[in-house]
Amino acid sequence: MIEVKMSQGAKPGHGGILPAGKNTPFIAKVRVSNYHGETVKSVAELIAAAGLFTSQDLRLWHINRRISMTKVARFDDIHPYPETGCLLRDNPPPSMKRFFEEATADPFAASCQLGMP
């Protein structure tokens, strides 16, 4: 049996050489565009599977993260939404509390330098 292979494709991990002639400016930009289009399409498939219509419909609670072998957390548990206007009321969420206490509006220096003689 004789197989005549008419082309040689470059695949990562599978060898193959991309001939210089194949790597044209046109192919290069089409590949950029293809990658974009296929990726966005793939996101859209996930969104449709989640019963949503657009990426703006996505909320933190749609995404899950496994935090141990036996526990799963929703993203809104891990990263709770801050209360509207809480930064203006000087009532930052717990995760930012320390930064608010340490920060000052006057000097523009790293905090380690503040207490130094």
Q: Which long-range contacts (CB under 8 A, 24 or more apart) does 60-64 make?
A: none
Site map (CB under 8 A) of other proteins, residues 5-44, x = contact: ------xxx-----------x--xxxxxxxxxxxxxxxxx
Q: Which is nearer to other proteins, 47 or 93 (CB)?
A: 47
In one-letter notation, the amino acid at residue 57 is D
Short-list 8, 28, 3, CA closest to 18:
8
Does position 59 bind other proteins by CB under 8 A? no
CA 117 to chain centroid, in Å, comes to 43
Decide whether 32 or 86 has the Cβ nearer to other proteins. Answer: 32
Binding residues for other proteins (CB under 8 A): 11-13, 25, 28-56, 62-69
